Structure 1
Amino acid sequence: MIMSFESSNRINISFYAAVLITLFMLDGANGRGLRLSPVDVVTSKITTAVKYVIVDVNGSEEFTSIQDAIDSIPHGNQDWVVIHVKKGIYREKVRIPREKGHIFLRGSGRTKTSIVWSQSSENNYESSTFKVEADNFIAFGISFKNEAPTGIANSSQNQSVAAYVGGDKAAFYSCGFYSSHNTLLDHQGRHYYDRCYIQGAIDIIFGHARSIFHECEIFVIADKRIEIQGSVTGHTRTSVNENTGFVFLKGRIYGMGHAFLGRPRGDHSRVVFAYTYMSKTVRPEGWSDWNHRGSLENVYHAEYNCHGPGSSTEGRARWLKKLNGQEAAPFLSTDFIDGKQWLLVGQS
């Protein structure tokens, strides 16, 4: 069933919120303590009437293509639009342009709903399977995959990005990101990733953004083509005046290969790992300056209270910052991304 933009029929999410709250109270009264999922909490907090679109690759709904559903949204949209993507593999490139904000892309689970393409390019943006350039975006329960075969090392056909995130105020809950090289281009803006799965080999997460990765799993794939081990992060920050950086809280790093926690892609690169489990996948040096020709004096690569066999800071790169509680505090809540101003659900 489709509720078109011309129709006066809209779903009143306030009603849904009331139902959820009632269920929570009743369940709590019986001592079971129902825990609402992020998708329910997000939905309950979108209190204005919204438009609702369903996509089914098998043809049971009006739209079989996610891009067609996005194209149906008017430019300059100011109301939240829920695009419910039923389970299936959607083999298409998808782009949400800057003019189409307030989209909630709801899948049926990251192992059930996926957007898949196969493209390598010397241009990371061009190779991306999924691009979101609009502000105010939410995704839940969907995977983004670039299935391009591993290219020739150091060649122009070696970038195969799964997702490009270039808008401000974007949140991903229980999503998956898969590629063999340059998986997630976290380009710019404030972003929040919660309980996501991110898989890759080299520069798995890279870009200029200011982002928190909360309880995310990072799986490292071995890249046998070159001697240089991969890196979990490659953050670009060129000035102390840029308030950007990647923060990883309470997640896990493991896999089949070995990788550094990060390498600088700018003289002021900023990456923090806190309360993170690190398997032996993490190289003892922790951090690499591979292909960096600038100074390391202002690079902010830091660790705080991490654990696991790969977390020992003995033998780490000389520029590592071992944070104390006071130094770590600014990175341990969503205040780092001004989350209280825009996040609908996230850790405090």
Structure 2
Amino acid sequence: MASSSSLFIIKPFLCFIVLFLASCPSYVLGISELKDIVIDSPLLTKNIPTNRTIKVDDEGNGEFTSIQAAIDSIPEGNSQWVIIHVRKGVYREKVTIPKSKPYIFLRGNGRGRTAMVWSESSVDNIESATFKVEAHNVVVFGISIKNEAPTGVAYTSQNQSVAVFVGADKVAFYHCAFYSTHNTLFDYKGRHYYDECYIQGSIDFIFGRGRSLFHKCEIFVIDDKRTAIKGSITAQSRESESEKSGFVFVKGKIYGIGAVYLGRAKGSHSRAIFARVYLSATIVPEGWARWSHAGSTENLYHGEYKNFGPGANTTKRASWAKQLTDQEVEPFMSVEYIDGQDWLPAWL
């Protein structure tokens, strides 16, 4: 089989067509309201080398009515790309792509049309997840993923309600949406790419130790009334200087209800960077929090670069927050940060 780099060499300026997506009210699922929107992924389909497609349709017009059943049909040790086309509808199920089944392109009909929904809270973040990706080389396009468990009580078994758990390398999400009230996206480990995705939550709702690039993502903050502590968008848990992990947000926008930090230190070398992002007034002036991290702040890498909007004023930022120079931010601004030029099917 050809190497992953030879399969995915594509010029960075190429992009796939998304009709009317920018005008969609993506803060809700809105399946019925958005049913007439046409969304496709021709470049992904073109650049993922396969002719094999499995169709999932909840009305019975495909090989399967369940997403998990379609995944289960793929043989263990799969080494060839397979497209699972999930047609419009709300699929109420927990879904896992296991470690033994890489090379899956899970393609929806658009994040306002295809939805994966479950409701579960747990003391175990992974167990609560609506969608778990445990296999390398997975691409997901145009799907809304939601954990609709009601807001629970902080520090109890009703507190963890993950929408998506990503625990593998070389995983990409294009034009997807992630919904929960707490711990929405568990970006656990590996290299990941999120392109024009919508992410909604309140406290620590993007967390883990992945090496991940969020390109032009829309982040919506929900005010959490369970605790007096302000929430945080990120809780990145890098633990050493040599560890390459970190969350990088390039372009996109952050807005919502209430007040949150850009991030808090969940590890001694926590790394999160926001560059050229619109920050609404929902970002508190301090910007960053130590929260439960009692150690020194000298190894934290909480950085900002040329953000704009009412929440981008840095005059009252936490003392350890870094205002990055052109030279300092350059290694984080493109897909080279995640070696994406070698494995991504498309990028900007």
TM-score range, shorter chain: 0.7 to 0.9
Q: Which ranges of 4 or more aligned residues in structure 1 deviate by more than 3 Å?
A: none
Counterpart position of 1:43: 45
Indicate conservation of the 8 Å contact 2:122/2:157, yes or no: yes
The answer to whether the 8 A contact 2:87-2:108 is kept is yes
Matched AA of 1:100: K
The reply to whether residue 159 of structure 1 matches residue 151 of structure 2 is no
Partner residue, 1:301: 302
How many angstroms apart in 2 are the aligned matches of 1:60 and 1:330? 47
In the comparison of the two structures, how many residue pairs are matched? 314
Q: By how many angstroms is 1:259 displaced?
A: 0.7
- What per-residue deviation string (whole Å, max 9, x for no partner) do you get for residues 202-251 of structure 1? 01100010000000000000111211111000001111010110000001
- The structure with the largest alpha-carbon Rg is 1
How far the C-alpha of 1:293 sits from its partner, in A, is 2.1
Partner of 1:59: 60
Separation (CA, whole Å) in 1 of partners of 2:156 and 2:118: 20
3-state secondary structure, aligned to 1:53? strand
* One-letter amino acid of the structure 2 residue matched with residue 221 of structure 1: I
* 2:286 counterpart SS class: coil
In 1, Cα distance between equivalents of 2:255 and 2:229: 18
Structure 2 residue aligned with 1:139:
140
Asked whether 1:217 is paired with 2:218, we answer yes
1:172 pairs with 2:173:
yes
What is the 5 A alignment of 1:316-331?
A: 316-331=317-332
- In structure 1, what is the Cα distance between the partners aligned to 2:153 and 2:205? 17
TM-score with structure 2 length normalisation? Answer: 0.88
In the alignment, residue 116 of structure 1 is paired with which amino acid? V
Letter in 2 for 1:128: A
Which structure would you say has the larger RCO, counting Cα contacts within 8 Å and 6 or more residues apart? Answer: 2
How is 1:237-316 mapped onto 2 (pairs within 5 angstroms)?
237-316=238-317
Q: Once the 2 structures are TM-superposed, how far is the Cα of residue 156 of structure 1 from its aligned partner?
A: 2.6
What SS does the corresponding residue of 1:198 show, helix, strand or coil? strand
Secondary structure of the 2:288 match is coil
One-letter code aligned to 1:107:
G
- Paired residues of 1:50 and 1:79 also in contact (CA < 8 A): no
User: What residue number does 2:34 align with?
Assistant: none
2:69 alignment partner, SS class:
helix
Q: Say if 1:275 and 1:38 are closer, same or farther in 2 by CA, change over 3 A.
A: farther
Tell me how large the CA RMSD over aligned residues is: 1.6
What residue is the counterpart of 1:71 in the other structure? Answer: 72
CA distance in 2, matches of 1:294, 1:135: 34
Shift of 1:44: 1.0
Report the counterpart of residue 10 of structure 1 in structure 2. Answer: none
Query: Which stretches in structure 1 are left out of the alignment for 5+ residues?
Result: 1-13, 15-20, 25-36
Contact 1:185–1:205, Cα closer than 8 Å, also in 2: yes
Match of 1:203 in 2: 204
- Tell me the amino acid that sits aligned with residue 131 of structure 2: F
CA distance in 2, matches of 1:50, 1:134: 21
Is residue 88 from structure 1 mapped to residue 89 from structure 2 by the alignment? yes
> 1:43: Cα distance to partner?
1.1
Which amino acid counterpart does residue 66 of structure 1 have in structure 2? Answer: I
Letter in 2 for 1:108: N
Encode CA deviations 1:25-82: one digit per residue, 9 max, x unaligned: xxxxxxxxxxxx88211111123x3321000111122200000000000011111100
- 1:148 matched residue in structure 2: 149
Q: Provide the C-alpha distance between the structure 1 equivalents of 2:295 and 2:337, rounded to a whole number of angstroms.
A: 27
After superposition, the C-alpha distances for 1:309-335 in whole angstroms (9 at most, x for unaligned) are 000111000100110100110111111
| 8 Å Cα contact 2:40/2:109 also seen in 1 | no
Equivalent pair of 1:145/1:177 in contact (CA under 8 Å): yes
Which residue of structure 2 aligns with residue 34 of structure 1? Answer: none
CA distance in 2, matches of 1:239, 1:228: 27
Secondary structure in 2 matching 1:316 = coil
Structure-1 separation of matches of 2:86 and 2:340: 26
Q: Secondary structure at the match of 1:69?
A: helix
- Kindly provide the amino acid, as one letter, of the partner of residue 66 in structure 2: S
User: Does structure 2 conserve the Cα–Cα contact (< 8 Å) formed by 1:248 and 1:276?
Assistant: yes
